[in-house]
Amino acid sequence: MTTAGIIAVIVALALAAWGVSSRIEGHDALRKKTAAESIPTVAVVEPTQEARPEELTLPGSLQAYTDAPVYARVSGYLKSRFVDIGSRVKAGDLLAEIDTPEIDEQLRQAEADLATAEANNQLAQITARRWRGLVLKNSVSEQDTDEKVGDAAAKQAALVAARANLARLRDLQGFKRITAPFDGVITARNVDIGTLIDAGGGAHELFHLAATQKLRLYVQAPQVYAAAMVPGISADVQVVDRPGRDFTGRLVRTAGAIDPASRTLLVELEVGNPEGELLPGAYAEVRFKLPPRPGVLRLPANALLFRAGGLKVAAVTANGRVELLPITLGRDFGTEVEVLSGLAGNQPVIINPPDSIASGQAVRVAGGTAGEGAVK
């Protein structure tokens, strides 16, 4: 073979080797690119701990601090009325007066009966003393003396009964005057002058009295907030008929038990109302400012995974692998949720994880660092 032929063979072999090497390198690069592109890119966020007080708004109902119907203790006709709805009264103020002719006659009869009982008792006591003296002289028998002494004791008891009956009727006569049992406002009037008043089984409410200097505010707090409802915390109160006005309420007590029907805790607040601006029975919005709960983390709601084994989140480990962690939720704030257990504060958690994600799967964090590319 000539030198030119040998050179041609060598060149051909070199070209063939170069072609094979290029194809091998291309296949290797393609394999590496395909493997890299098969690793999903995820957005992550780190759990946060809220340090600011939490604001909780709940509906409430205002009630009078003391609320009572006023009834009559005696029957008769309403003689006079001194108040109407909206009247503000003090304890002991006269509300109305009832005309009671039957009780008046019974009182006069009781006074006469008392006078008779006093006279009979006086005569019986004198007679008993005389007979005790006569029996010492054997002028009368002991049997007759005992009868006179017993009669004196009976007359004494009759006198006590007559006095008690007179006192009872005088007390009843005093009920002719209907007075206010406490300071408040008349919220209902159901009688007028001349109305027949029945104090028996068919008694009807004459007036309704409500104390409004301070009001009770009742709120049904969800069970997740029950531990935060402790006496002494304050809340801002708003009512629709006083727009732009904030009133202050103070939590004074709770029911101490969760209502099994609604899973709520009945909470009572006191609201000062010296000017009478707030009305009993009104609807109110109550804004509590609750202190942050130490050690409780928050996550976006779209980081949650609902699996058959329970609620989980997909965390990214230091070597870029997925770890599915079971968690326990606390309160739900809509876009965020509380995580009570299952997470440390520095673990990056995948947002919007696919349903097919599994533990041990390799992932690439968007931007190359935890938190970058997170959905806001």
Closest CA to 277 of 235, 245, 234: 245
Topology at the third CATH level for domain 211-290: Elongation Factor Tu (Ef-tu); domain 3 (2.40.30)
Contact between 283 and 219 (Cβ < 8 Å): no
**Three-state DSSP class for 109?**
helix
- Rounded-to-integer distance, Cα 212 and Cα 210, Å: 6
Contact between 219 and 269 (Cβ < 8 Å): yes
Topology at the third CATH level for domain 69-179: Helix Hairpins (1.10.287)
End-to-end CA, the chain: 76
Summarize pLDDT for 226-285 with one digit per residue, the tens: 988 999 999 999 999 999 899 999 999 999 999 999 999 999 999 999 998 999 999 999
Closest CA to 63 of 199, 219, 190: 219
How far is C-alpha 148 from the geometric centre of its chain's CA atoms?
Answer: 71
- Rounded-to-integer distance, Cα 184 and Cα 223, Å: 35
Q: Where are the beta strands (DSSP E) in 139-246?
A: 177-179, 184-189, 196-197, 207-222, 234-238
Exposed, middle or buried: residue 303 (CB in 10 Å: 0-12, 13-18, 19+)? buried
Name the segment(s) of the chain with CATH classification 2.40.420.20.
41-51+295-368
Hey, what amino acid is at 58? Answer: L
Cα 50 to Cα 54, 221, 333, 338, distances in angstroms: 9, 21, 12, 10
Mean pLDDT of 292-315: 82
Hey, what amino acid is at 241? Answer: D
Hey, what amino acid is at 243? Answer: P
Closest CA to 99 of 196, 17, 208: 196
Structure tokens at 96: 């109305």
Considering the entire predicted model, what is its pTM?
Answer: 0.65
Name the segment(s) of the chain with CATH classification 2.40.30.170.
211-290
Summarize pLDDT for 319-348 with one digit per residue, the tens: 888 888 888 887 777 788 888 777 877 788
Q: Is 40 a residue whose pLDDT tops 70?
A: yes
Summarize pLDDT for 115-168 with one digit per residue, the tens: 999 999 999 999 888 888 887 877 778 888 888 889 899 999 999 999 999 999
CATH of domain 41-51+295-368: 2.40.420.20
Lowest mean pLDDT among 55-59, 248-252, 297-301: 297-301
